[in-house]
Amino acid sequence: MKTAAVLLAAGRGTRMKSSLPKVLHPVAGRPMLWHALRAVHEAGCDRVVVVVGHEAEKVREAVGAAGQCVVQEPQLGTGHAVQQAEALLQGETDLVLVTAADMPLLRGETLSRLIEAQRAHKGPVTMLTVLADDPRGFGRVVRGEDRRVQAIVEEAQATPEQRAIRELNVGAYCFSAGWLWEALRRVPLSPKGEYYLTDTIALAVEEGLSVQALTLEDASEAIGVNTRVHLAEAEAVMRKRINRQHMLNGVTLINPEATYIEAGVAIGRDTVIWPNTFLQGDTTVGEGCMLGPNTLVRDSHIGDRCTVLASVVEGAHLEEDVEIGPFARLRKGAHLARGVHMGNFGEVKDSYLGPGVKMGHFSYIGNATVGAGTNIGAGTITCNYDGEKKHPTEIGEDVFIGSDTMLVAPLKVGDRARTGAGSVVTKDVPPDTLVVGVPARAIRKLESRDRD
Ligand code: UD1
Ligand code: CA
């Protein structure tokens, strides 16, 4: 049986009070829409149609290849929204899973169960419900004396007795396709001037067909985001969920309450993460690392057994056994090879530091390559910018850059060369040569005993 998903994302999201479309607000670093798309894909849907409307172009861009978009204009309610997918899906699918893109916590496995339940059901629809003390404006699930579902009543239209009902409509349904398209044509206009998808439930009951309800075990999955207060709630639940999964996978979080790991970050076993650490974007961390406290890693790849203490790492790549911090800053294009040690107040951008390079204190390395085993003395700066252009610096292997050296790019420093403390190097330095002074001059050729 083929199943298509229809994700509703056309609404205005007025209560967010934002210029960003609601479904693009991030939860754990990814748009709510991303979470919703992931869940329907995990549920194994053959096709995914996203109904867009308000700020349609921005939302369409965020959907990308993860689904097809249809535009709902004007937005006349959730029933009307689903109807927009009919032209694409008519005759193409047996079941239609409908959910909203503002429910980032709904799990793929829950949607799978919903689909399975409808496959095994004779009636036209299976819906998801939740039992909750706080109704949060959700539609109420009205059951008859026989406990069968009779209708969904929206809060605004509910009688006081109905308002007291604590079984709520989550807003996820699996319909038999043929029945759905036909029923949507019969949905009446609501007192609010909208066509409610929820009214299809009463239509089924009127026809004498049975409506099946599946109740969520984990009520947090039903958190829908209508305001920024809900957004923070969703964020907290998602963070807990992500952290728990990493812990179960063998990562130690000293204090999970103060550890912020975005969706999609991968972390190897036996890595220990200290509080106030943020792992964001497209980031991977290897095994046996020590991260934090007070560390931010974004869009970076960190190899096994690295230590990153109180540092900021963005767009960087650390191979194995790299040690950085406290107070190091790696910017985009920083590539630190195996065994690099970078201490306090260093900054590296668009540069390669070869295996075993040491850069202990107060240095800036930009647009440079540094060969294996080289020592960058305290206060060294690659003067890579002349006010208009960036220029490269190439430093060889086993070089010793003396403290407070200014390397005025473009510049090459040969293997095993040395610079004296405070030199300002403006000309290329041949291998095995010691340069000193301002501007730096070669004063002698180095023998191997000079270096030992
Ligand atoms: C809806 C349900 C309610 C349920 C709740 C769960 C209806 C009438 N009510 O209420 O029973 O408890 O979800 O979260 O369905 N949308 C469109 N086009 C429209 C209107 C809405 O695409 O014309 C989209 C919105 O972008 C949103 C979703 O549908 O993603 C739900 O709409 P929203 O206005 O948030 O409905 P609720 O009031 O939350
Ligand atoms: Ca909603």
pLDDT, tens digit (0-9, with 9 covering 90-100), for 51-66: 999 999 999 999 999 9
**Pairing of β 167-176 and β 149-153:** unpaired
On average, the pLDDT of the chain sits at: 97
pTM higher than the cut 0.85: yes
Distances (CA, A) of 30 to 27, 118, 147, 281: 5, 30, 39, 8
Domains of the chain from N-terminus onward: 3-222 (3.90.550.10), 232-451 (2.160.10.10)
Bond before 293 cis per omega within 30 degrees: yes
Q: Is 154 in the pocket of ligand 1 (CB under 6 A)?
A: yes
Q: How confident is the model at residue 447 (pLDDT cuts 50, 70, 90)?
A: confident
Distance 17 CA to ligand 2 centre (A): 14
CA-199 nearest atom, ligand 1 = 8
Q: Among all ligands shown, which has an atom nearest to the Cα of 9?
A: 1
Q: Is 80 in the pocket of ligand 1 (CB under 6 A)?
A: yes
pLDDT digits (tens, 9 = 90+) for 29-38: 999 999 999 9
Q: Is 11 in the pocket of ligand 1 (CB under 6 A)?
A: yes
Q: What is the pLDDT of residue 450?
A: 64
Distance 116 CA to ligand 2 centre (A): 25
Residue % of the chain over a pLDDT of 70:
99
pLDDT digits (tens, 9 = 90+) for 142-156: 999 999 999 999 999
> Angle, nearest 10°, between helix axes 56-63 and 32-42?
50
Residue nearest to atom 26 of ligand 1 (CA): 11
41 is catalytic: no
Q: What is the pLDDT of residue 16?
A: 97
Q: Among all ligands shown, which has an atom nearest to the Cα of 170?
A: 1
Sign of CA dihedral 113, 119, 122, 124: positive
CA-10 nearest atom, ligand 1 = 22
The neighbouring-strand residues paired with 337 are: none
Residue 431 pLDDT > 90: yes
Residue 413 pLDDT > 70: yes
Q: Pick the catalytic residue: 41, 230, 361, 391?
A: 361
Q: What is the pLDDT of residue 449?
A: 62
Q: Tell me the mean pLDDT in the region 183-187.
A: 98
Sign of CA dihedral 226, 230, 232, 237: negative
Q: Is 104 in the pocket of ligand 1 (CB under 6 A)?
A: no
Distance 82 CA to ligand 1 centre (A): 11
Q: How far apart are CA 76 and CA 264, in angstroms?
A: 35
Distance 78 CA to ligand 1 centre (A): 6
pLDDT digits (tens, 9 = 90+) for 235-264: 999 999 999 999 999 999 999 999 999 999
CA angle 317, 320, 323 (to 5 degrees): 80
In the DSSP assignment, the letter for residue 18 is -
Q: Is 25 in the pocket of ligand 1 (CB under 6 A)?
A: no
Q: How confident is the model at residue 451 (pLDDT cuts 50, 70, 90)?
A: low
Residue nearest to atom 34 of ligand 1 (CA): 11
**Pairing of β 252-253 and β 272-273:** parallel
Q: How far apart are CA 303 and CA 149, in angstroms?
A: 54
Q: What is the pLDDT of residue 236?
A: 98
Placement of tokens 């579902």 in the chain: 149
Where b means 16+ CB within 10 Å and e means fewer, 388-400 reads eeebbbbbbbbbb
Residue 452 pLDDT > 90: no
Distances (CA, A) of 353 to 86, 89, 91, 290, 335: 57, 54, 59, 21, 6
pLDDT digits (tens, 9 = 90+) for 99-134: 999 999 999 999 999 999 999 999 999 999 999 999
Q: What is the pLDDT of residue 329?
A: 98
Q: What is the pLDDT of residue 347?
A: 98
Q: How far apart are CA 166 and CA 418, in angstroms?
A: 76
